[in-house]
Structure 1
Amino acid sequence: MIRSFGAVSAVLVSAVVLSACTVTVQGTPLGAGRVINPDKQEDVDTSFINNTDGGEIDKLAGTVIKDVEKFWEDGFPATFDDKPWQPLRGGYYSVDTSDKAAPPPPCTDQASDVEGNAFYCPSADIIAWDRASLLPVLKEKFGEAAVMLVLAHEMGHAVQRRAGITQQSQRNDPQRYPTILLESQADCYAGSFVRWVSDGKAANLSLDRDSLDPALEAMVLFKDPVGTEQTAQGAHGDAFDRVSAFQDGFEKGAKLCSEITVDNRVFTQRGFISRQDEATGGNLPFDQAIQQLEPDLNAFMKGTADKLGKQWPTPKLDRVTSSPRCSKGDQGPVAYCPNDKTIDMQTKGKLTDLHAKIGDWATGTIVSSRYAVSLLAVLGKPLTGPEAQRTVLCVSGAYSKFLLTREGNGVFTLSPGDLDEAVQVLLGYDYPARDVDGEAPATGFERVAAFRTGAVDGINACDLR
């Protein structure tokens, strides 16, 4: 069975394959953000790659492979009880999917089988990638770090095989080794490698932390379609699951990744529970979403305040047509107003635009963050500074967890894909993280990490006492 990074969107593939057409691809072209050390740029030898053309894409891929091999040569024994690392016996394959006559790699029938993909094949012990319509598009739209992430993920599957997780073990015990678990573990291993590079330990690669955001945006493209059951064959996870696994590896290392099991990993991906929810893609119209959010957020914040011995004042939610200007800093389209303890929400403009562009939980994430600022005020906590910014995101994430795990007929809850919308708005915008001075963490990576603290561990993890 081929282990791939995930199903790439048709739009991403068509950006290269249908080069004569005008196609809009998500992402911002990135000319900078190179990951190969400048003094190593001319030293890249691609001769070890089967079917290479020796071009820039394979130079980048080859450089990543060399460093990820070194990472596991050193790190595999430390992770797996001194067991030595075994290099891939089948090697690496670059595939020109634009050429119908190009030789296919092992485990495939024709070169076009690799189109828009990169994969690890355990039976041949090889890694292959599409050098025509995957890696160059990732590089152009999301930076070289996205290419590094994809290839490190595939090496993660090779790590699993060497750690004893085989096709046979998965067939014999699919409940213990569901596909989504194996993909999450490979994402985690990729995160541990990227952290090693980011820390300056790689011989050939380097990485600025700012380059992580576009790489994670690329990962969002490879999420499963909204509504996919986590038990589905070939499931890789929703955007929240995939980014969470990557960040766990980045923050906690390969040893934690090796210990991921069905008993200690909770996945947020799930199927639709009603035809109506499926028909709308799980999204409510803006006015209806706000109508349900307002009382529910107040109830959640009141319950939290009550447990901490404080009285929740039920702040008034003022609908405004202009941008909120009720504090000295720009909080974005929704703002907590310290002087009169209200919340101003712009009903037309950026908030409604994001609601339409991303989905209703982009709105929910932003609005809940302003109620979180109000909660900090009630608790007498600072409303400015890095700690306030992280706590606001944590509380917003905890509210999302509360909704995701809530049970009962007819209750307000999250739909499949909602947490993906939270990830998207956090990566692309800093509104949910802003304090009352309008300051926020600089990177989406930091914002998602703080939100995840609450979304995974709940309100108690937000350190409100």
Structure 2
Amino acid sequence: MRTRLPAAVRLVAPVLLLVASLAACTNAIAGEPVSTGSVLSETNPDQPGGIDPSFVKNTDGGPIDQLAAAVLTDVRSYWTETFPATFDGKEWEDLSGGYYSVDTSSDDAPAPPCVQQASDVEGNAFYCPSEDVIAWDRAALLPVLKERFGEAAVMLVLAHEMGHAVQRRAGLTPDEQRANPERYPTILIEAQADCYAGAFVRWVADGKAAHLQVADDRLDAALESLITFRDPVGTEQTDEGAHGDSFDRVSAFQDGYGSGATLCADISIDNRTFTQRGFRSAADAERGGNLPFDQLVTSITEDLTAYFATVVREQGGTWTDPTLTSGEAAAECAGSEQGPIAFCAEGDAIEVTAEEELPKLHTEIGDYATGILLASRYGMATLDALGKPLEGERAQRQLLCLSGSYTGTLLARTEGFTLSPGDLDEAIQVLLRYDYPGRDTAGEAIDTGYERVSVFRKGTLEGPAACELT
């Protein structure tokens, strides 16, 4: 269930839960509005960001369109600079159809090209290749993003849509995509646009933009907004209109942020692996991909023991199965600074505090919220078995990497204990919001969710060899 925009490439699938008309087909991300500060450089006290939004068609001249105008001005500057270097000297051409702000709260508001009426844009932003325009809902999308995730989320959304305009200028036409759906599936097209958005945001973070600025601590909220647009759990990556799960979308953004537009331009079905998957059984679909807490703990701990025992032995160490305990003993663990699940080197015990926060995470995020916390503590047991330090930045990174390496093995399985659709989404949400999976025995961890996700991804995609255990 999703709104379809004729001849348009859309970002939002599904649309935010706060858009009431589509609430039934979305997945909510719990959370309160965040305070992340402005991304606008105060170059003109009377005009935030120093941008006159009059080039935006149907603008009301208000703060939301001022922000959008600042983003679009800088992203056009970015592509004017970057496009020739990325595409063999070809010059950037601005959008011939222009930019449209749409007031979806008004019954008589003018509609942008490619739709019949303004309400068709509700909760949405899109690039329409047939008319070469970008349009956005200034009433029920951009203000919601700004309120919940900060202004950097608006930057990400509009940069994504400009990414689709980049694809059009690089030679990918709608006709070519329709004629070669296996070569150009929608999930690939969306990943490339996410990647281009990441490359632009890095340019801004490096201080090269005239009107925008973004600090590292604002990226977490921006990524939270991106994963809000993940596909409904159980969507197959081959489905028409599939945009990717949280892991796919965040991965594409981080690849662009880390490596730039040239890497994005080279993304193809031959070199891109997607993790999104549909349900493999009716029973799993009926459960929504989640197991009850006790059942999950019983199932995963046996699997974690087998996996990490193999990792330790391959490194020449001796593995001892940790004892899993819960109740009052957990509060007495020497490693209780680690959070609701802790590894205690003395006695080789993993203590689970199955009260309050952990069941809440399990219920509100999903069962792999518990799974990733357990995986990280088994990772700590692995470091201990190999005689590695259990404190410090290196240990913190190894814990996240080992959690990812275990998760990666589950992706490759077709039977036995494996990942359900949505499990990777749950892992990404935990990593963005909480530092528990990366906490060392002193309770210290990598500060930003962005970097925690990055290290976890490396382990997921490259395995234990990426975790620097030797």
Matched, 1:434 2:439: yes
Q: Would you say the 8 A contact 1:29–1:141 is kept in 2? A: yes
Q: Distance in 2 between matches of 1:189 and 1:238?
A: 18
Corresponding letter in the other structure for 1:209: D
Paired amino acid for 1:188: C
1:264 equivalenced with 2:271 (yes/no): yes
What 5-or-longer segments of structure 2 have no aligned partner?
Answer: 1-6
Q: Does 1:281 align with 2:285?
A: no
Q: What is the aligned partner in structure 2 of residue 27 from structure 1? A: 31
- Once residues 285 and 260 of structure 1 are traced to their aligned partners in structure 2, the CA distance between those partners, rounded to angstroms, is 39
Aligned to 1:185: 192
Partner residue in 1 for 2:104: 97
1:128 aligns to what SS in structure 2?
Answer: strand
Map 1:118-129 to 2 at 5 A: 118-129=125-136
Q: 1:461 aligns with which of 446, 449, 466?
A: 466
Aligned-residue sequence identity (percent) comes to 57
Q: Does residue 298 of the first structure (1) align with residue 305 of the second (2)?
A: yes
* Secondary structure class of the residue paired with 1:11: coil
2:156 matches 1:152: no
Q: Does the 8 A contact of 1:354 with 1:363 survive in 2?
A: yes
- Quote the residue 1:21 is aligned against: none
TM-score, normalised by the number of residues in structure 1: 0.95
Tell me which residue corresponds to 1:418. 423
User: Contact (CA 8 Å) 2:36, 2:218: kept in 1 or not?
Assistant: no
1:7 paired to 2:8: no
Q: Note the 1:263-412 alignment, pairs <5 A.
A: 263-321=270-328, 324-327=331-334, 330-408=337-415, 411-412=416-417
Alignment partner of 1:36 is 2:55: no
Q: Is the 8 A contact 1:330 1:436 kept in 2?
A: yes
Amino acid in the other structure paired with 2:8: I
Query: Retained in 2: the 8 A contact 1:398–1:456?
Result: yes
- CA separation in 2, counterparts of 1:31 and 1:357? 22
| Amino acid paired to 2:352 | M
* Structure 2: distance between partners of 1:459 and 1:153: 33
Q: Secondary structure at the match of 1:93?
A: strand
2:37 aligned partner, one-letter code: G
Is the 8 Å Cα contact of residues 29 and 228 (structure 2) preserved in structure 1?
Answer: no
SS across alignment from 2:43: helix
Amino acid at match of 1:280: R
Report the alpha carbon displacement of residue 328 of structure 1 after superposing the two structures with TM.
5.5
* Alpha-carbon distance change, 322 to 204 in structure 1, aligned in 2, over 3 angstroms: farther
Structure 2 length as normaliser, TM-score?
0.94
Closer, same or farther: CA 25–288 of 1 in aligned 2, 3 Å: closer
Whole-Å Cα distance in 2 between the matches of residues 160 and 457 of structure 1?
29
Distance of aligned partners of 1:124 and 1:322 in 2 relative to their CA distance in 1, 3 Å threshold: farther
Question: What RMSD, in angstroms, separates the aligned Cα atoms of the two structures?
Answer: 1.7
Which residue does the alignment assign to 2:202? 195
Q: Is the 8 A contact 2:9 2:127 kept in 1?
A: yes
- Give how far 1:251 is off: 0.9
Pairwise CA distance, 1:340: 2.1
After superposition, the Cα gap between the structure-2 partners of 1:36 and 1:406, relative to the gap in structure 1 and judged at 3 Å, is same
> Which range is displaced more, 118-127 or 81-90?
81-90
> Could you tell me whether the CA contact under 8 Å between 2:391 and 2:440 is conserved in 1?
yes
Which residue among 437, 448, 453 is the counterpart of 1:448?
A: 453
1:173 aligns with 2:180: yes
Aligned mates of 2:70, 2:53 — CA distance in 1: 8
User: How far did 1:25 drift?
Assistant: 7.8
Residue matched to 1:20:
none
The question of whether the paired residues in 2 share the 8 Å contact of 1:369 and 1:432 is answered with yes
For 1:329 and 1:78, the matched residues in 2 are separated by: 52
